[in-house]
Amino acid sequence: MSGNLTILKLGGSVITDKNADEGVALKEEISRLAKEISSYKGQMIIVHGAGSFGHPLAHRYSLVDNFDAEGLVLTHRSVKILNSIVVDALNESGVKSVGVHSMDCFTTTDGRISSSFLDPIRIMIEKGIVPVLHGDVVMDSTKGVSIVSGDQVLPYLALAFGAGRIGLGSAEDGVLDENGNPIPLITNDNFDYIKACLGGSACTDVTGGMLGKVRELLDMCHGRSMTSYIFNAKVAGNVLNFLNGEEIGTAISDSLE
Please identify which residue in 40, 59, 120, 215 interacts with a copy of itself, judged by CB under 8 A: 120
CB of 41 to a copy of itself, least distance (A): 14
**8 A C-beta contact, residue 82 and residue 16:** yes
CB of 133 to a copy of itself, least distance (A): 10
**8 A C-beta contact, residue 167 and residue 241:** no
Q: Does 46 bind a copy of itself (CB under 8 A)?
A: no
Residue 19 or 117 with smaller CB distance to a copy of itself: 117
CB of 75 to a copy of itself, least distance (A): 10
Q: Does 109 bind a copy of itself (CB under 8 A)?
A: no
Q: Residues 6 or more apart from 15 whose CB is under 8 A from it? A: 25, 26, 29, 30, 33, 48, 49, 51, 82, 86
Q: Does 60 bind a copy of itself (CB under 8 A)?
A: no
Number of residues binding to a copy of itself, judged by CB under 8 A: 39
Of 226, 191, 242, 231, which is closest to residue 11 (Cα–Cα)? 231
CA–CA gap between residue 197 and residue 66 (Å, rounded): 32
Considering only 5-13, 100-108, 200-208, 246-254, which stretch makes contact with a copy of itself by CB under 8 A? 100-108
**8 A C-beta contact, residue 46 and residue 37:** yes
Please identify which residue in 98, 203, 235, 240 interacts with a copy of itself, judged by CB under 8 A: 98
CA–CA gap between residue 61 and residue 66 (Å, rounded): 8
Burial pattern 217-236, b for ≥16 Cβ within 10 A else e, equals bbebbeeeebbbbbbbbbee
Q: Does 191 bind a copy of itself (CB under 8 A)?
A: no
Cα 224 from chain centroid (whole Å)? 20
Please identify which residue in 72, 220, 243, 252 interacts with a copy of itself, judged by CB under 8 A: 72
Q: Which residues bind a copy of itself (CB under 8 A)?
A: 67, 69-70, 72-73, 76-77, 80, 84, 87-88, 91, 96-101, 103-107, 115-117, 119-120, 123-124, 127-129, 138-141, 144-145
